[in-house]
Amino acid sequence: MSLSQAIDSVRRAVALVAVVGMISTGMPAQSAPAEGTAQVSYNSPLAEKTHPFSMLGVWKPFTPHTLPQPVLRNTDRLHSLIHNGRMLLSLDDAVALVLENNFDIAIARYNLDIADTDILLARSGGTVRGVSTGVLSGTPGGTSSAESTSGTTGSGTGGTSSGTSGAGTGSGGIVSSTQNSVGSAIDSYDPTLTGTISADRATAVPQLSSSSAYYPIYYGNLTRIQQNTNQYNFQYNQGWSTGTLATVSFNNERITNNIPLTLGAASFYNPDLESAWKVQVRQHLLQGFGLSNNRREIVIAGNNRKVADASFRWQVISTVAQMNNIYWDLVNAYETLKVKQTALEFAERTLSDNQKQVSIGTLAPIEVVSAESSVATARQNLIVAQTQLQYQQLITKNAIARNFSDPELTAAEIVPTDSMALSDEPLPPVEALVNYALANRPDIHESELNLRNNEINNKAARNALLPTLDVVGYYQGGGQGGRTESSNSGYGDVFSQLVNRNIPDKGAYVSLTIPLRNRAAQASQIRSQLEYHQNQLNFQQQKNTVNLQVRNAAFSLQQAKAGVEAARAARDYAAESLSAEQKKFALGASTSYLVLQQQSNFTQKASDYIAALSTYEKARVSLEQVTATILDRNGIAVEDAARGQVTRMPNVPGLVPNQTTQPAK
């Protein structure tokens, strides 16, 4: 066989091993979806990466995956609402813009794909890195008393809470150092093909030895011995979730030298061709045995994907609730401005009337001074209300836009088209609200999934206590050829020996490793159990906190409703008192000073009524947040938030249009 034929045979052998590797990647143990299929449905950029590669995409595993750059421009929806320098904004539109543009949601959206990378990593046999369970709060405004009960505020961007699933240290007094760090090592489920091609050229000087009588037989008069060694070695490795590891090796060696065949023995080959192949299978019998033990990272990654889904849902809930509060703060500022404008107009009208009466001698000059003071105070209050409205408009723009410096958005005045109103919807029983919250709160789901991961780690820690007992079986075939004085055989003859198994080597052995004290594994197992019990207590405490949050939110809503009714009664009484004082003034039984006092009192009570309505609206939002009902009640699809594109408009119930700001039909 010629050298080119030998190289061609080697290529075919390598191709055969590669094909075996590609076929093996499609085995159910590696390609089946991990437990915990993604709940948030959208087009993940990693979808194609989680499937085995095919012959047509043989280079895909080695190709970097290019992801699209973050979108930093505002969506078209925002610009469609701006007309003639004004943005007439409804609460439904505000929520839709938040789902598309808000940075907190956009940043949290990446956690879904990050969790998908853990699924891909676990399917390869790697150790998952964990996911974030925090809620970003980088958007200012719209403060609420409803906070997540899991995690503590961290120092990351937007005050992200410290994560728990897959984290190394934990937070808030909860230790999670053994998560994903206990249990036996998992073999790589991704097949590996290793190839080594080497060429060695050695030169040596013949040396006499104690057997110098035989020296001329092998070397004659050679002054330099030159030997060339070429090796073509290949190896294929793959593990399976049963605790099985297979190794297939294919080794070839060709040695030539300048020693004449006439000086060699009859069995002396020059060139010398040697080939061997070996299949070895190792199976764990104690430590590292079983599907559940070896697939634990896949299951944990699936659970962590559910954690990421729940965390993202909690992020959307929190951000939507915040947007509701921002919107009602905007309405509050807008309505307060109208009250202050009315107060200034009244004060200016009173000043004008007083000046006329002073000029004709029917009123003392001191009344003009008093009216001027009232005008100055009312003007100051109006400027404060104007600047507060302007700032609230900026807060709203920041919440609903990505490009805060967009010239069209910067110049636009935001006018709310919905007004605050007391709802006549009855409050459900508090017990029913508590039960619903415990069954549907995303942070409760996160903790439940985290406990499941703790249980998986506990099982892995118990398995790691066992001795290592492996059974190994192997089969090896070899072949040798080359040229001697009497024969000449090539690679074809050598490969024929491999296939015919003329000189097989087969066997099996058992390997046992017993750690006599095993303190490291015992410490990990005990610590894992302690952390699990600690998390059980924390989970119960978390449910108790949710119970208190829901009840407190229900109480706050009842109090806020009563506050609106009291503020409305006080406003109506102040209006009647002002009207009565004006009538007395017209009859000469009062002074302009007393009228202005009643006007100031009415302005304050009107402002108090607006503030009470705002408190009521926020209390209603807070109850919807802590019970996790806000998305369903507002008709919000989490999938739209995950895509960053609203396909179904939100529909916030119970809204009352503001007739003074509604667009003309």
Average pLDDT taken over every residue of the chain:
84
Lowest mean pLDDT among 98-107, 310-319, 381-390, 404-413: 404-413
Sign of the CA dihedral running 287, 292, 296, 300: negative
Quick: pLDDT tens for 478-497.
Answer: 888 888 777 788 777 787 88
Measure the N-to-C terminal CA separation of the chain; round to a whole number of Å: 92
pLDDT > 70: percent of the chain: 82
Phi, psi of 332 (to 5 degrees): -60, -50
Sign of the CA dihedral running 614, 619, 625, 629: negative
pLDDT at 196 over 70: yes
Q: Are 564 and 422 in contact (CB under 8 A)?
A: yes
> Beta strand pairing status for 656-657 and 225-240?
unpaired
Q: Are 272 and 482 in contact (CB under 8 A)?
A: yes
CATH class of the domain whose range is 318-441+546-657: mainly alpha
Q: 415 pLDDT band (50/70/90 cuts)?
A: very high
DSSP, residue by residue, 491-513: HHHHHHHHHHTSS-EEEEEEEEE
- Domain assignments of the chain as residue spans, ordered by start: 192-240+244-287+468-513, 318-441+546-657
**Composition of the chain by helix, strand, coil, percent to 5:** 55, 15, 30
Question: How many Å apart are CA 345 and CA 596, to the nearest integer?
Answer: 12
**Which class for 267: exposed (0-12), middle (13-18), buried (19 or more C-beta within 10 A)?**
exposed
Q: 264 pLDDT band (50/70/90 cuts)?
A: low
Q: 204 pLDDT band (50/70/90 cuts)?
A: confident
pLDDT of residue 213: 46
Distances (CA, A) of 447 to 28, 97, 532: 30, 31, 11
pLDDT > 90: percent of the chain: 63
pLDDT at 18 over 50: no
pLDDT of residue 640: 94
Q: 46 pLDDT band (50/70/90 cuts)?
A: low
Q: Which two tokens stand for residue 380?
A: 């100051």
Q: 468 pLDDT band (50/70/90 cuts)?
A: very high
Q: 176 pLDDT band (50/70/90 cuts)?
A: low
Order of strands, edge to edge, in the sheet holding 413-416? 82-83, 86-89, 413-416
Quick: pLDDT tens for 99-152.
Answer: 999 999 999 999 999 999 999 999 999 988 888 888 998 899 987 544 444 443
pLDDT of residue 31: 35
pLDDT of residue 144: 57
pLDDT of residue 178: 66
Phi, psi of 143 (to 5 degrees): -65, 145
pLDDT of residue 660: 75
Question: Could you tell me where the beta strands, DSSP code E, fall in 362-451?
Answer: 413-416, 418-419
Average pLDDT over residues 17-35: 36
Lowest mean pLDDT among 304-318, 331-345, 487-501, 550-564: 487-501
- Residues whose CB is less than 8 angstroms from the CB of residue 176 and which lie 6 or more positions away in sequence, other chains included: 164, 167, 168, 169, 170, 531, 535
Distances (CA, A) of 266 to 212, 261, 648: 20, 9, 88
Q: Are 131 and 179 in contact (CB under 8 A)?
A: no
Phi-psi map region of 628: left, alpha, beta (phi>0 left; psi -120 to 50 alpha): left
- How many other CB atoms are found less than 10 A from the CB of residue 632? 10
Q: 3-class SS at 192?
A: strand
Q: Are 141 and 176 in contact (CB under 8 A)?
A: no
pLDDT at 50 over 60: no
Q: 318 pLDDT band (50/70/90 cuts)?
A: very high
Q: Which of 104, 132, 114, 120 is CA-nearest to residue 34?
A: 120
Lowest mean pLDDT among 55-69, 452-466, 525-539: 55-69
Q: 179 pLDDT band (50/70/90 cuts)?
A: low
Q: 3-class SS at 530?
A: helix
The DSSP bridge partners found for residue 218 are none
Average pLDDT over residues 164-174: 51
Question: Could you tell me where the beta strands, DSSP code E, fall in 359-490?
Answer: 413-416, 418-419, 468-482
Residues belonging to the chain? 665
The DSSP bridge partners found for residue 199 are 230
Q: 290 pLDDT band (50/70/90 cuts)?
A: very high
Which uninterrupted H or E stretch holds 81? none
Question: How many Å apart are CA 119 and CA 33, to the nearest integer?
Answer: 9
Q: Are 180 and 300 in contact (CB under 8 A)?
A: yes
- Output the CA torsion 387→399→436→312 (10° steps): -160
Average pLDDT over residues 409-433: 93
Average pLDDT over residues 405-411: 90
pLDDT at 30 over 70: no
The DSSP bridge partners found for residue 177 are none
Question: How many Å apart are CA 245 and CA 532, to the nearest integer?
Answer: 32
The DSSP bridge partners found for residue 551 are none
